[in-house]
Chain A
Amino acid sequence: MNNPRITEEQALLDLLKDYPVPEADAGFYDRALVRAVHQGSRRQRKRWMLAGFGSAVAAGLAIWMISAVLMTTPQLPDAEPAIPGVTIAMEQEHTVRLVFSSAEALDSATLTVSLPDGIELAGFPGQREITWETSLEEGRNLLPLTLIALTPAGGELLARLEHKDRNRTFRLRVDVS
């Protein structure tokens, strides 16, 4: 006869073992590599520039000039991460739901939603930017936004969360069908 505890333990281990994780998006690794090299190189340049500046103070104008040349070297642009998007129908309400994952409970955070031309937030006709104060719980916080498209142009919605001197911005591509 099977020991029920052992059976349960095995069932749990099987479930955990099979617990899936989505694969990385196609091209994510390549983009991450490119960004890492660009950002890493830029950080290296900054370190070198700072070192150059310190030496310049000590050694004189000649080294400072080299640093100045380095400082004017154009920087490579960062690869843009993929922006999530939704497609909504003209003149119909469509609710998108954003999740804020917060590591801690936060009081008095400020949330600002900036809308593209032709997209409105239900209940806020004619307003391109809506700001309100909110509190976040530790863990996942859900924010439903009901959008209405008045023109077919679409555009980018920005949701900016600020707390004290820290902030995060979420970008959402809104297409209109």
Chain B
Amino acid sequence: MNDPHQTEVFERVVRPHFDRLYRLSWRLTGAKAEAEDLFQELLVKAFGMLDELVHIEEPGSWLSRVMYNLFVDQHRRFVRQRMHLVDEGHLPGAGLADLPGDFDPVADRERQEQFRRLDAALQQLSEEHRVVVLLHDTEGYKLEEIEAMTEIPVGTIKSRLHRARNRLRQILQEDGTIS
């Protein structure tokens, strides 16, 4: 039987971080079903560590680190092997139509095409470069936050970021996305 008090405490601690964690999960995995799996794995693990979690000063950072470690431990292995419907929202550019907001159809189409190309360019990066550039430049994590999450020194992160941006710029220049 679940302890309602325990459940309530758990929810109070983790729920404020859900949106950011879900986004992180997407950035790490790049696919909806895998993002949901990783998010779920994190919550199961976090619930098992609730006694520790309630005493942590910044649970958001802690949860991000645990999620990253889960990703490294499990999602680089066979666990990543998942099957999806193509139109489920995980191929390059897919899912963009579901985003909230009103857009100018023409401008939006152009922007979506740019995102599709960016997605394709990101796929050409190594995972370590892709993750760093997405965390820093897209999600706005600070270098120190990425260091705390990944346990990779800031110097290495900066170097990866620099290389990742250069490579992206090169690819996107060649296909005319940026000029």
Contacts and interface: CB of A to CB of B under 8 A. Distances in A.
Contact of A97 (B23, B81, B86, B172): B86
A19 interface: yes
Contacts, number: 164
A47 to B, nearest CB: 9
Given A12-B172, A20-B96, A163-B78, A99 B86 contact: yes
B85 A101 contact: no
Nearest to B30: A101
Contacts of B32: 22
B44 A35 contact: yes
A103 B138 contact: no
Interface stretch (A51-59, A126-134, A146-154, A166-174): A166-174
A76 B3 CA distance: 13
A37 B5 CA distance: 12
A33 B85 contact: no
Given A17-B138, A40-B44, A8 B78 contact: no
A81 B1 CA distance: 21
Given A12-B172, A76-B2, 17 more contacts: A11-B178, A13-B137, A15-B172, A19-B118, A21-B27, A23-B100, A24-B19, A24-B36, A37-B6, A40-B47, A81-B36, A101-B80, A101-B84, A102-B78, A106-B81, A142-B86, A170-B82
Given A37-B47, A41-B2, A168-B82, A16 B31 contact: no
B48 interface: yes
Contact of A161 (B10, B83, B99): B83
Chain B residues touching A, range:
35 or more
A48 B7 CA distance: 18
Contacts of A35: 40, 43-44
A98 B100 contact: no
Report the 10 A-B pairs with minimum CB-CB distance, sorted nearest first: A40-B47, A36-B43, A170-B83, A97-B86, A16-B137, A103-B80, A11-B178, A22-B95, A21-B26, A39-B44
Given A17-B137, A35-B44, A168 B115 contact: no
Given A36-B44, A163-B78, A168 B178 contact: no
Interface on chain B toward A: helix, strand, loop, or mixed SS?
Answer: helix
Interface of B: 1-2, 6-7, 10-11, 14-15, 18-19, 22-23, 26-27, 31-32, 34, 36, 39-40, 43-44, 46-48, 50, 75-91, 95-96, 98-100, 111, 114-115, 118-119, 123, 133-134, 137-138, 140, 165, 168-169, 172-173, 177-179
Contacts of B168: 12, 16
Contacts of A36: 10, 40, 43-44, 46-47
Nearest to B177: A15
